[in-house]
Structure 1
Amino acid sequence: MLVIGGGPTGMTVAGDVARAGRSATVLERWPSINPSSRAFATMARTLEVLDAREPADDLLADANRATGVELFAGARLDLQYLRSRHQYVMITPQTNVDTALGRYAKAQGADIRRGIEVVGLRQDDDGVTVTARPKGEPGPRTTLRASYVVAADGAHSTVRGLLGIGFPGKTVLSSLVLADVKLRNGPDGGLTLGSTREEFGFLAPYGRHEPDGSWYRAMVWDRGRQVSDHVPVEDSEVVDVLRRAMGTDFGVLEIGSPSRFHCDERQVERYRHGRVFLAGDAAHVHSPMGGQGMNTGIQDGANLAWKLAAVLDGAPDSVLGTYHDERHPVGKRVLRQSGLMARGVTLHPRIARGMRNLVVPRLLRIPAARDAIAGSFAGTELRYPRRSGQHRLVGTRATEIPLAGERLTLLQRAPGFVFIRERGGHRPDEPELLHAERTDAGPAVLVRPDGYIAWAGSSAESAWRDTLREWTGR
């Protein structure tokens, strides 16, 4: 199998496929990890995915954990009630996540080739032929053959262009500025948002403290300064917009890695095109509000990889069709959710801002609303569709089921399905499955390799074997 793009999405796919015993090659045009990666927030569900692959421990050791988001008019989105052992958002530069997932993929046996760009792609009934060359050089060209190709090559996907796949949508915000800032008196607590009718500022604490100040990732936007992405960012622009948006001077001591960019809302109509699959930013892009981009991409990869490995091992092709069916609606929801937040923050009419400042704080003080909104952003409330007649738990994540022994994510560091029997239940004779026993009064469940429930019921029934056969062909 061939993965185009060596970011977090591509490395998740390659690592998981290799872990399942199949060959995986990654072609990445950057000779080293992209230092200008913009993501910095890793959500709870993504941390569970990483925990099932080991990188979570190392990342959390050096990262900051923010338990809430300070919004406008005193509103706060509290993450401390999430149904997860990760009741926070991890703040660390995306380069750290890229590095950790790259190590994971390599450790599983993936072949990672950097400095290689794709210039041609042709598929037939039996596979895909990809033509590649060293980045920026006229030759020589290399031809690679694979059963399937995963395009995880970003918003400006080469693969998407070669296949002529449309990317419908529009620009929603222009001239956003991102930078690392060292502040003398930065805000305490978690993520902090400040806005006026003309600008907004956002600060995420890295947790890196020095004697004279602390480091934050900053994002600022000024309605009155809408310029091309290529216009250099001056330090004074960051300082000025941040001060006006936050209504205070935090004392900017140092600014690093400034960049200017715009954000679009776009999504391909189909995630599968024959033997080629689109994942991450190649399939969907959206506002950075809510920090969903990298998280959605990693979860795309976790959903797709085990299905590719299963089909390569003999599962029916229909298994691959479920990737689009499950992940396209998630991408669509993320576009809508991030877009609503971007529009809410940048509201200009006074009456609309007044209504926002009245309604949102009250809404977030209602526990059910708070938890639903927080869980939606964190990914912990995501569920996949289930067929009529299936148990209500099918399609939900199994991560929070209490087990006798190790937690589920540790068991899932080995590939495959997990059968969790009832408390005190008999262990079925199925040596190829990972097994566990729950400690509460819930039903037996069959857990997919991505942590979601495929079947629930009594372990004395044989129906779970039928479900396993549907997904694996065994």
Structure 2
Amino acid sequence: MDTSEMMDVVIVGAGPVGLTLACELARRDVRVRIIDRADTYPAGTRARGVRARTQEVFEDIGVLGRLIERAEPPRPTRFYDAQGAVVREAVMYDAPAVPGAPYPGSLMVGQQFTEAALRELLASLGARVELGGELVGLAQDRDHVTASVRFDGQRHHIRSRYLVGCDGGGSTVRKQAGIDFLGETLERQRMLFGNLSVDGLDDSVAHMWATGPGGMLTLAPMPRSGTWFFTAPLPPDGQEPSSVSLETFADIFAQRVGLPGVRFRDAVYLSVYQVNIRMVDRYRKGRVFLAGDAAHVHTPAGGQGMNTGVQDAYNLGWKLAHVLRGAPEPLLDTYEEERLPIAAHVLASTTARGRFWAGGDAGRVSERIVGAFQGQDPFSDVSQLSITYRGGSLARDLDEAIGIRAGDRAPDAHCAEPATGERVRLFDLFRGTHFTLLVFGPKPAPRVGRADVHTYRIVRPGLPHGDGERVLLDPEGQAHDLYGVDGDGLVLIRPDGYVTLAGGDWDGRSVSGHLERTMASPA
């Protein structure tokens, strides 16, 4: 059966990555279909750490409030040595404040809630997930992609301008497109993940047995979902369990911890996770793109997988929408240019972090783990706030007169309305699908003449400004400080919150010329 209407974009895979991309496209009026081979929506905690930068993404698209409602309350983690003695107790996700970052810490939210919030948003935008759709074939030519999808035993042919695989580490899209998945499978590293009920254990804290035979075992209460989250490596020299059951988890707990009086029951989700360290050598082949685990998989150390994938989607979504509206096709090449190095760094840092956590006594291991989530990780910034695209095709510095550089994440700051003194966040100005131009100082703003560029002048109290301009006061100098501006400054911010043009000296064509050369669709 052939569909009569050609879509703009088809997304394969309806996890957090595919749903984020679908929402990004739908809110830009892109015709999108999102399919998933599962017959029902998955349950279970799975990826639960929503890091600082991902919270900013979710605030922009409009689901952060729902996630905060379902987030687990902060609670300490209690670390034990091999003899069962407590060696440390600390709140792991209590990160120190970061200037320009409204959410420095992490939200602990079960993945089922993250996906539900994104599905609800997607429905409000006029699209929905199509379950039970298995991709069985893929073909493309110069103008479109044809996906062969089996629904209820019948094959449908769905045509679209572009197709994006967000279908996980075993991605059918990646295989059908013929994109290599380079790296290694760590045959001796397999982990148990599950949600279940636990009796006989203090539920006011999370528990982590950081050393001992087999490696780190954790049990964390998840009262929002009425379960506990269990993680533990399987013995490296053991056999793959013929089936994963409560008994499997209980046996591992008895071998590793041996704490009497603890009983497991009422499993919601149980799985074995095979550790792979792999990534693609390209994010795109013709009109087919990859995002999330379909493009990169790694150890779970540091909780970077879902967060990296969501930001893949956030980077790609606005670019696809702009090209579909007439922006130059090479804009899509910047997706791979910007995100491939990020994936390579995540693979390297998570591998190094996992090895670092595995060595030493319980006290030292606990110190390393807590430090990673409190901004003291030696391998990378797990908040992902420091990701930059400096030096890329979309990053242009006019000069070095201001501190912020093209490619950097644009920080938040508090300003004020001149007439009322009402507090205004820069992130409130950025929210949406437009570009944002910030002009500091008295120098005339460049001519733009585009509805998709919102311009604001940021001034210190008492300084003059032009009539008719949208002006915000910077009474405490916070915006000037965070953007590194002493006098004149110009900062053009992309729809995904990264600076694309920056400097202290410009002319009337600086912004419009940059947009015409690189990314903007016709006015």
Q: Does 1:472 align with 2:520?
A: yes
Q: Does 1:177 align with 2:192?
A: yes
Contact 1:127/1:147 (8 A) holds in 2? yes
Q: Does 1:421 align with 2:429?
A: no
Q: Does 1:186 align with 2:202?
A: yes
Cα deviation digits, residues 229-288 of structure 1 (max 9, x gap): 6432334x4345446656866944545222222121111110011111010111111112
In 2, distance between residues paired with 1:68 and 1:448? 38
In 1, distance between residues paired with 2:156 and 2:501? 44
Shift of 1:460: 5.8
- Please point out which of 156, 161, 166 is paired with 1:152: 166
In 2, distance between residues paired with 1:334 and 1:375? 8
- CA shift in 2, pair 1:343/1:187, >3 Å: farther
SS of the equivalent of 1:165 reads coil
Shift of 1:92: 1.9
Shift of 1:302: 0.3
- CA shift in 2, pair 1:377/1:371, >3 Å: same
Cα deviation digits, residues 87-112 of structure 1 (max 9, x gap): 32211221111111122222223353
Shift of 1:148: 0.9
- Please point out which of 216, 228, 233 is paired with 1:200: 216
In 2, distance between residues paired with 1:455 and 1:191? 47
- CA shift in 2, pair 1:78/1:414, >3 Å: closer
Matches within 5 A, 1:344-383: 344-347=356-359, 353=360, 361=367, 370-371=375-376, 376-383=381-388
In 1, distance between residues paired with 2:454 and 2:207? 39
Corresponding residue of 1:15 = 23
Q: Does 1:332 align with 2:337?
A: no
- CA shift in 2, pair 1:222/1:17, >3 Å: closer
Corresponding residue of 1:217 = 229
Contact 1:127/1:145 (8 A) holds in 2? yes
Corresponding residue of 1:119 = 136
Could you tell me which amino acid in structure 2 is paired with residue 415 of structure 1? Answer: T
Corresponding residue of 1:30 = 38
Contact 1:425/1:437 (8 A) holds in 2? no
Shift of 1:457: 2.4
Could you tell me which amino acid in structure 1 is paired with residue 193 of structure 2? Answer: L
SS of the equivalent of 1:80 reads coil
Corresponding residue of 1:81 = 96
In 1, distance between residues paired with 2:174 and 2:258? 43
Unaligned runs of 5+ residues in structure 1 are 348-352
Which structure: larger Rg?
2
Corresponding residue of 1:313 = 325
Contact 1:175/1:229 (8 A) holds in 2? no
- Comparing 329-338 and 298-307, the one that deviates more: 329-338
Could you tell me which amino acid in structure 1 is paired with residue 327 of structure 2? Answer: A
Corresponding residue of 2:470 = none
TM-score (norm 1): 0.85
Shift of 1:15: 1.3
In 1, distance between residues paired with 2:32 and 2:44? 26
- Please point out which of 444, 456, 464 is paired with 2:502: 456
In 2, distance between residues paired with 1:15 and 1:182? 34
Shift of 1:359: 9.2
TM-score (norm 2): 0.78
Corresponding residue of 2:6 = none
Unaligned runs of 5+ residues in structure 2 are 1-8, 81-86, 417-422, 459-473, 484-488
Contact 2:136/2:149 (8 A) holds in 1? yes
- Comparing 16-25 and 222-231, the one that deviates more: 222-231
Contact 2:195/2:229 (8 A) holds in 1? yes
Q: How many residues align?
A: 459
Matches within 5 A, 1:264-279: 264-279=276-291
SS of the equivalent of 1:383 reads coil
* CA-atom RMSD in angstroms: 3.4
Q: Does 1:94 align with 2:111?
A: yes
- Comparing 171-180 and 327-336, the one that deviates more: 171-180
Could you tell me which amino acid in structure 2 is paired with residue 165 of structure 1? Answer: I
Q: Does 1:433 align with 2:453?
A: yes
- CA shift in 2, pair 1:389/1:450, >3 Å: closer
Contact 2:353/2:379 (8 A) holds in 1? no
In 1, distance between residues paired with 2:512 and 2:76? 42
Which is helix-richer, 1 or 2? 1
- Comparing 288-297 and 391-400, the one that deviates more: 391-400
Matches within 5 A, 1:128-143: 128-134=145-151, 137=153, 139=154, 141-143=155-157
Could you tell me which amino acid in structure 2 is paired with residue 167 of structure 1? Answer: F
Shift of 1:190: 6.6
In 2, distance between residues paired with 1:115 and 1:466? 47
- Comparing 462-471 and 17-26, the one that deviates more: 462-471
- CA shift in 2, pair 1:206/1:25, >3 Å: same
- CA shift in 2, pair 1:128/1:12, >3 Å: same
Identity %: 28
